[in-house]
Structure 1
Amino acid sequence: MSELSRELKLDPALAAQDGSANGQPPALRPDVAATSDEYENRQTYLQGARLHLTTAALSLCLFLTNLEIPIVVTALVDITNQLGGFSESNWVVSAYLLGYAGILIIVAKLSDIFGRKPVLLVMVLVFVVFSGACGASQSIRQLIIFRSFQGIGGAGNYAVSMVVILELVPSHKYAMYTSAISIVYSLSLLLGPILGGAIAERSAWRWIFLLNVPAGLVVVVVIFFSIPNGFPHHAKPPHERPNLGRVFSSDSIKRLDHLGTALLLLATVFLVSALEEAGKHYPWKSAFIITFLIISGLSWIAFFIWERRVTLQGNVREPVFPWRFVQSRVWIGMLLNALFLGAPWFCAAFQLPQRLQIVNSLSPLDAGVRFIPFTLAAPLGTAFAPIVAKMAKIPPIYLVLLAAILQVVGLALISTLPNTREVIPAQYGYEIIAGFGCGINITLLLLMAPFSVQERDKAVAMGSVAQFRVMGGAIGLAIITAAFNGLVMQRLSNFLSNDQLSELLLYPGTITSYPSPIQDAIRNTFADGYTLQIKILAGLAAGQIPATLLMWQKNQIMV
């Protein structure tokens, strides 16, 4: 079959590519089989118990993979008190994000080629196996390595699950369905810090990872039996749809963009690794950091040149990142928006619970509870935005702009918190503002993606938005960690010896072993470091404002 195209409110650049700009309906062109409506009329959607079981399994997939970020942050102090390496603790989160950021687009494209079901099953099993390995880690470096592979499985779960969810229902139900699924997804952020704190305080931190094993195996069983082979093409004649017997055929292998995949991995991994290590183990001007940044820069350039060539050639090989995305101003704005959203979304969830534990001397569980305003506001934002956009017929771009402003205001207010052990009530209001803004854009950018591209690009489009958001989180975390370490290490060295400083950065629990005046000085130094981080996050969040304006067009996307 020829490739499908959407007759929706497209950017003029995209409209020109599918022929609609010159007044020729896409359905009448020989290289386009049908409009979105005609395509959906041919679809056979899952019904009844099968639909509900599949939805529940995919929701659990999204819940578990996202839970792995916030559930760890409140337990990091406890983990490093046992394994050591508090100065490396950011890598426990970054390694997961790095695995995520490197392959989201790639896995989305693999699911186009090999089918949704087999790719999803493999990714869930990878996530389960390395969750068990994380729980068995005996050192901080082992945990970091296993976390990166766990992140690969998590990325696959997320990328394929989000595509399948939107293939379960026709497009006029996307807003309501995305809103419901986003609530489940965002609830993981709400429960993560509390569960992580409770497990670290009442049990062994290893259960944070081991609990994924039985839950993940349940998902595998449900997906295996509830999703038809060849989904979403299961109603087509056998010779036209992918199935398990043809997944690894030579024709499928030929469709893979091997070089594009390798270049994307290189570009992402070397960039994040350089930012993580800069200013900590290696100076910014060191040969190590410069080499990594050069490799990343050259890989990005080569990646886009190669993807342009593959897209324009139009042969059997399918680009992992279609060049038509780069040609669209709207899509450039959408990807930049996702990139700048990643930092406040992930980094606030990482830094604020740590600040509550170290500066405010709270237990992991108490820190998780005090973080609830942020984590509760986020799912409310994810539920609120699609419903308002759909019911009130408001172009989502207006809400995206509002959400960016809310993030900047909320984070700027958080940066004014005093360096005291007491948690002031105003902090909860600041968290609500920032969390609500993040929640709105988390769901709206994903919801807008399938309405702004051709049918053939839907999976890659959603994977791209998710990948740029996670990549923004990993890059943002690396930037604020470098800034934090630079400030804190310089100031602490003024009144701590090198041995004391090394011990404190390995085991933060040793703060209580110092006399009260020294404890206060240490906590004030850490507080200043966290304040600097939040100011940087506010600046990165502000990047969403010009990115949103870049998405502006005469006929706005409607959902």
Structure 2
Amino acid sequence: MVVQASNLALRTSENETDDVIYGADQTQMAKASFPKSNGEDNDSQENILYLQGIRFWMVSFLNGTMLFLVQTEISIVTTSLVAITRDLGGFDTASWVLSSYLLGYVGVVVIVSKFSDIFGRKPVFVICIFAFTVFSGGCAAARSMNQLIILRAFQGVGGGGSYALSTIMIIEIVPPHKYGKQVAYTGIAIVLAMVLGPIIGGAISSNTTWRWIFLFNVPIGALGLILALAGIPNRFPHHGQPDTAEKRTKSLTRLDLPGCVLLLLATMSFTAAFQEADSQFPWKSAYVIVLLIASVLLWLVLLIWERHVTLASKIREAVLPWRFLASRAMVGIYMSIVLLGGPLTVAAFQLPQRFQLINGLSSLDAGVRLVPFGGAVPVGTITSANVAGKLRVPAIYITIAGALLQVVGFALLGTLQVSLEIPPPLKSVTMLWD
């Protein structure tokens, strides 16, 4: 996740927002820079007025705070799900509490960045922070599992937008020669979120009501709103340039709304099928089969559409540019993220429940025992980045080494027997993550 922040330094133009977001979200594997998608504002970068003084510190603190909050909300529920289901019921649908947040998160991360290119970073960022804060309070007030799942999806929309704007602005508030330092400092927030999220969730659920895992976002989110309103200049990062309505209208044609809708529907149908399979519905049920077929068809339509947009349109900017899929390196990165990141997320979700339901530990104890797992991820990321940079080891070898470590770790976890006692090897196995 630290490399996730470092790849933001690859962005050198506002029109490369799509590259940054994909790079920021998928960056644990490699660094890459892509050609600019549109040249209409290429000279605007030269006229950016970088932030200084109190505004610089306000926006830097805002970026770090929002990255910490939205990333924490991914992991904080893993150690609180048992407490939530004891209160609201619906243990069979508990996994949707995490999935709905991630779906909302993924669904807007690209389109929000495009809107910020058109209407400015400040108003879009403020709206996203407001949505995240309001729906965090809504999650705390939920009276049923269905309410919580729906509210978490809207919270994810605000969280995804806040994440997108924070990662973009990290390298827009300073000149290029300061990118590394700025990214490194802000990356600390992401590391802390990964390590502390399960512990915070466990501590809250063990000592008070689980509702505080959402309520604590409200005052911090309100502070974020104040910082955004006071610290971000109007029309940043082009606050030193004339504004015209004609330019904004023309920029609207760049939005790939059909691509965004197809991406969201394809992801939702795939997620829904696997969430309900062998739980609410058997694998051979019409529900699961129809959703899987629909997901495959939607992905195919998305690929065809994105190829058409990339090759035929000189104005609209594709959500998933075809040049990504035409590159062997990028296809390899995407496949690695799916095959390595998927099991990593599942393990982070399942281990705390095992500790609580099978081993009888409290939410806090479960969170503490997840620290080796969460803490090893940024350690592996930092180490791999340094090895690749200083020793000039090709990324492919680092990826293979990390994948082998993960295979060994999961293989050892798979040998564990159902027991009320925590086997000693489990504590060391959780260290084998990259």
Conservation of the 8 A alpha-carbon contact between 1:113 and 1:255? no
d(CA) in 2 for partners of 1:39, 1:175:
22
**Offset of 1:125 from its aligned partner?**
1.2
SS at match of 2:420: coil
d(CA) in 1 for partners of 2:109, 2:191:
19
| 2:116 aligned partner | 111
Conservation of the 8 A alpha-carbon contact between 1:183 and 1:383? no
**Offset of 1:408 from its aligned partner?**
2.1
d(CA) in 2 for partners of 1:99, 1:275:
17
Residues 341/39 of structure 1: CA separation in 2 closer, same or farther (3 Å cut): farther
SS at match of 2:99: helix
Matches within 5 A, 1:23-422: 43-171=48-176, 173-235=178-240, 237-239=241-243, 246=245, 249-422=248-421
Q: Structure 1, unaligned stretches of length 5 or more?
A: 19-29, 241-245, 438-559
Residues 405/39 of structure 1: CA separation in 2 closer, same or farther (3 Å cut): farther
Residues 219/388 of structure 1: CA separation in 2 closer, same or farther (3 Å cut): farther
Residues 382/187 of structure 1: CA separation in 2 closer, same or farther (3 Å cut): farther
Conservation of the 8 A alpha-carbon contact between 1:14 and 1:324? no
| 2:6 aligned partner | none
d(CA) in 2 for partners of 1:391, 1:224:
41
- The one-letter amino acid paired with 2:275 is E
d(CA) in 1 for partners of 2:371, 2:277:
33
> Deviation digits for residues 10-40 of structure 1, max 9, x if unmatched?
x9x998x88xxxxxxxxxxx96997xxx987
SS at match of 1:432: coil
> Deviation digits for residues 93-132 of structure 1, max 9, x if unmatched?
1111221232323323333333333222211111111111
- The one-letter amino acid paired with 1:164 is M
| Cα RMSD for the two superposed structures | 3.1
Residues 14/381 of structure 1: CA separation in 2 closer, same or farther (3 Å cut): closer
Matches within 5 A, 1:8-27: none
Conservation of the 8 A alpha-carbon contact between 2:119 and 2:248? no
d(CA) in 2 for partners of 1:108, 1:310:
18
Conservation of the 8 A alpha-carbon contact between 1:84 and 1:140? yes
d(CA) in 2 for partners of 1:319, 1:182:
28
- The one-letter amino acid paired with 2:272 is S
- The one-letter amino acid paired with 1:409 is V
Conservation of the 8 A alpha-carbon contact between 1:85 and 1:140? yes
> Deviation digits for residues 284-324 of structure 1, max 9, x if unmatched?
23222222223222222222222222222334332222222
Residues 2/101 of structure 1: CA separation in 2 closer, same or farther (3 Å cut): closer
- The one-letter amino acid paired with 2:409 is G
**Offset of 1:209 from its aligned partner?**
0.6
Residues 116/389 of structure 1: CA separation in 2 closer, same or farther (3 Å cut): farther
In the comparison of the two structures, how many residue pairs are matched? 409
**Offset of 1:150 from its aligned partner?**
1.0
Residues 14/67 of structure 1: CA separation in 2 closer, same or farther (3 Å cut): closer
**Offset of 1:223 from its aligned partner?**
1.8
Q: TM-score, normalised by structure 2?
A: 0.84
The share of aligned pairs that are identical, in percent, is 45
- The one-letter amino acid paired with 1:374 is F
Q: Structure 2, unaligned stretches of length 5 or more?
A: 1-12, 20-29
Q: TM-score, normalised by structure 1?
A: 0.67
**Offset of 1:215 from its aligned partner?**
0.6
Conservation of the 8 A alpha-carbon contact between 2:118 and 2:248? no
Matches within 5 A, 1:408-557: 408-434=407-433, 437=434
| 1:517 aligned partner | none
> Deviation digits for residues 32-86 of structure 1, max 9, x if unmatched?
997xxx9876544323432232121111111111111221111111111111111
> Deviation digits for residues 399-420 of structure 1, max 9, x if unmatched?
3333323222222222233433
Conservation of the 8 A alpha-carbon contact between 2:79 and 2:364? yes
| 1:488 aligned partner | none
Conservation of the 8 A alpha-carbon contact between 2:78 and 2:349? yes
Conservation of the 8 A alpha-carbon contact between 2:85 and 2:94? yes
Residues 408/167 of structure 1: CA separation in 2 closer, same or farther (3 Å cut): farther
- Of the two, which has the highest radius of gyration? 1
Conservation of the 8 A alpha-carbon contact between 1:175 and 1:387? no
SS at match of 1:433: coil
Residues 41/403 of structure 1: CA separation in 2 closer, same or farther (3 Å cut): farther
Residues 33/106 of structure 1: CA separation in 2 closer, same or farther (3 Å cut): closer
d(CA) in 2 for partners of 1:400, 1:173:
28
Conservation of the 8 A alpha-carbon contact between 2:47 and 2:238? no
> Deviation digits for residues 502-558 of structure 1, max 9, x if unmatched?
xxxxxxxxxxxxxxxxxxxxxxxxxxxxxxxxxxxxxxxxxxxxxxxxxxxxxxxxx
Conservation of the 8 A alpha-carbon contact between 2:14 and 2:45? no
| 2:22 aligned partner | none
d(CA) in 1 for partners of 2:248, 2:396:
42
SS at match of 2:431: helix
- The one-letter amino acid paired with 1:125 is F
Task: Tell me whether 63-72 or 220-229 shows the greater mean CA deviation.
Answer: 220-229
d(CA) in 1 for partners of 2:86, 2:248:
50
Conservation of the 8 A alpha-carbon contact between 1:102 and 1:269? no
Conservation of the 8 A alpha-carbon contact between 1:14 and 1:328? no
**Offset of 1:173 from its aligned partner?**
4.8
- The one-letter amino acid paired with 2:116 is S
